[in-house]
Amino acid sequence: MRSKKRDFNFILGICLLAITLIPAFVGLFWTPYDPEKMDYSMKLAGISIRHIYGCDNFGRDVFSRIMSGSGITLLIAVGTVLFGSILGTVIGCFTGYYGGLIDECLMRINDVALAFPSLLLALVIVSLMGTGKYQVMLALGLAFIPSYARIVRGEYLRIKNLDYVKAAKLAGASDMRIMFVHILPNTKTVLFSSVLIGFNNAILAEAGLSFLGIGVQPPDASLGRMLSEAQAYMFTNPSYVLFTGCTIVMLILGFSLLSKAKRWQ
């Protein structure tokens, strides 16, 4: 039963991500219309053969903007997760392996950072650094470091006293080799699952920041920015907000299902 449920989650997650990621990838090279080209004669136009998702309040093709905006949102998510997971993993490796004063000092700082919601912490950082996609990427990456550090530290505390680690020490392996060659690969299941969840959180956080107007700025499009623009036309042109919101939901749900399927293996 668990195997069937895992397979279902994996297949459904892959399907949802394919629906959203393929247009986002294609949008890096080609879109049906220029995402920034305005045509006031098509202002708030509904769904049609020419514009399958309709048009926004400036007459821009919504489908083309979702293709372009998804790419920017995913770029921010990838940058955020890479930055946060790499630095968090390094901190977790050293604190979990060595322990002692280094562990106590860094983990108390880590606990203080974890006491703040990541979105709230990112808000503070963005307010200090300014708005824009790269600032959002850096702010969210910094906000995500504590959670990855805590996860990796826990795995190192569990693994470092196992027999194969003790054997590596007796064989004369250096601390760096033990940490990054012997122990780190054995954290891959938990770390991979955490990375998938990190994509969820990064997409949601970017959408939240851009929705509030302190994330991605015009003329760049992002899913959060588009959702913010669409809310004023929820009743006059519901397809605008519906398709943008559904894209965010499918991305988050797809990564969530994949992380659950991986965790059950």
Does 43 map to a domain?
Answer: no
Q: Two tokens at 203?
A: 């997409």
Confidence at residue 62, expressed as pLDDT on a 0 to 100 scale: 92
Does 143 map to a domain?
Answer: yes
| Integer Cα distance of 147 and 140 in angstroms | 12
Does 107 map to a domain?
Answer: yes
Confidence at residue 264, expressed as pLDDT on a 0 to 100 scale: 44
Q: Give me the domain span that covers residue 26.
A: 2-33+57-263
Does 231 map to a domain?
Answer: yes
Does 49 map to a domain?
Answer: no
Confidence at residue 114, expressed as pLDDT on a 0 to 100 scale: 78
As for how many domains the chain has, the answer is 1
For helices 238-263 and 2-27, the axis angle rounded to 10 degrees is 130
Confidence at residue 86, expressed as pLDDT on a 0 to 100 scale: 94
Does 115 map to a domain?
Answer: yes
Does 44 map to a domain?
Answer: no
Confidence at residue 1, expressed as pLDDT on a 0 to 100 scale: 54
Does 203 map to a domain?
Answer: yes
Confidence at residue 3, expressed as pLDDT on a 0 to 100 scale: 62
CATH number, domain with residue 24: 1.10.3720.10
Residues in the chain where the model's pLDDT stays below 50: 263-264
Confidence at residue 27, expressed as pLDDT on a 0 to 100 scale: 87
